[in-house]
Amino acid sequence: MLDKQHIIDRFVSYVTVDTESDPNSKTTPSTEKQWDLANQLVEELKRIGLSDVTIDANAYIMATLPSNVEHDVPTIGFISHFDTSPDFTGTNVKPQIIDQYDGKDIILNKDQNIILSPSYFEDLLLYKGQTLITTDGTTLLGADDKAGICEIVSAMEYLIQHPEIKHGTIKVGFTPDEEIGRGAHKFDVETFGADWAYTMDGSQVGELEYENFNAAGATVQFHGKIVHPGYAKGKMINSMYYASEFIHALPKLEVPEHTTGYEGFFHLHHMDGKVEQTTLHYIIRDHDKTKFEARKAVMLDIANAMNKNYGATVVTLDIKDQYYNMKEKVEPVKHIVDIAEEAMRALNIEPLIKPIRGGTDGSQLSYMGLPCPNIFAGGHNFHGRYEYVPVESIMKATEVICKIAEITAKKAHHS
């Protein structure tokens, strides 16, 4: 049996270290403070008894749990990221432990009247009677993805302490900067040496994902002319009106707040505007590759039409692909998803196989030669003050890791 308090203490020791990443930084890791937890993890991996524990110049951590069987078993890996999202502050996280959650409102912060309520976040009711870890309402929690790290470390520790559980060689990998889309950029797949891996980076219990969005980022610049407004007739060109025209030319309902499942979207997430120049920052997402390409073409067509209509280059558009749907790389080795599904069912966990409305390190790693489905880590409401994670979910994910290792070894023995 896993030690619940030990798991809580480990998780809290991770989330109280600030590891927020920075999309504007050019370094890896993008923030110096990510080293604090990275170095802590290296020492912990050594302490629990893993072999070949390394950290490279970019803070990528790798370690090995050697096989304890004589027959050949595929080498599998488990990967999580230690940075937290720049969407909301991760400084001075003060986790709160709610024992035997009663299904009612949780007061996160009395002074600021910040409440985590099941009337808004209905998933809370799935965890009545369980132990929840929440924020104090002023920061995110960091369960994305420190819950994943906690699960992997705890599973390796458990397997070391229970040699009766037979497994092949297991590789562990922890990465910086996943939240800013760079987590896999400097991951050395060859050195990692796994046949396949799993990211522990999903949400609720049972999630098992091997499809994700194709993703691109678009920067749209609009060019105007600034003149004194009192003498502007026929001379001033206000770039913000061009930007407004562009925004309204895109399909109004194809945005995150109106889409679900396999539906893609255009998401305007940031804008800077002055008369002379306005910049819009979009992300473009779609599971279907053809529709993904069509979305990029829609943006290009709008820009070209505006430039033609105004007889000048009033819009410039720069689109860069970010990652692709891992389904293309995982489907040919679908047995790796089947093993994870079998592990969950063996633990009485109902697998929730669905597409990720986002991406993980695994989507990039799959295209780098390391097929990498995604498994639940247990947290909810990522990237904000309402983030929480049930301790029982962390424990279940830890058990899934151990069970995957056991099933992989058994299947290799019988094949």
Percent of the chain predicted with pLDDT > 90: 96
User: How many independent structural domains does the chain possess?
Assistant: 2
Residues 307-317: tens digit of each pLDDT: 999 999 999 99
pLDDT of residue 1: 83
195's tokens: 């046949």
Alpha-carbon gap, residue 265 to 249, rounded angstroms: 14
pLDDT at 415 over 80: no
Q: Where are the alpha helices (DSSP H) in 162-221?
A: 189-192
pLDDT of residue 310: 95
Range list of β-strands (E), 135-191: 170-175
Could you check whether the bond before residue 56 is cis, i.e. omega within 30 degrees of 0? no
Residue found under tokens 């030319």: 249
State whether 188 and 329 are in the same domain. Answer: yes
State whether 245 and 358 are in the same domain. Answer: no
334's tokens: 């679908």
Report the CATH number that the domain containing residue 280 is assigned in CATH. 3.30.70.360
State whether 353 and 370 are in the same domain. Answer: yes
Average pLDDT of the chain to the nearest whole number: 96
pLDDT at 125 over 80: yes
State whether 96 and 165 are in the same domain. Answer: yes
Mean pLDDT of 35-42: 98
pTM, two decimals, is 0.89
State whether 354 and 410 are in the same domain. Answer: yes
Single-letter amino acid code for the residue at 59: A
State whether 272 and 175 are in the same domain. Answer: no
Residues 261-287: tens digit of each pLDDT: 999 999 999 999 999 999 999 999 999
Residues 8-28: tens digit of each pLDDT: 999 999 999 999 999 999 999
Q: Which domain holds residue 366?
A: 4-211+325-414
Residues 187-228: tens digit of each pLDDT: 999 999 999 999 999 999 999 999 999 999 999 999 999 999
State whether 80 and 204 are in the same domain. Answer: yes
State whether 308 and 225 are in the same domain. Answer: yes
Residues 45-100: tens digit of each pLDDT: 999 999 999 999 999 999 999 999 999 999 999 999 999 999 999 999 999 999 99
Range list of β-strands (E), 35-143: 51-55, 61-65, 76-81, 96-98, 106-109, 114-116, 132-134
CA atoms within 13 A on the CB side of 73: 25
Mean pLDDT of 143-162: 98
Residues identified as active-site: 83, 178
pLDDT of residue 88: 96
Report the CATH number that the domain containing residue 176 is assigned in CATH. 3.40.630.10
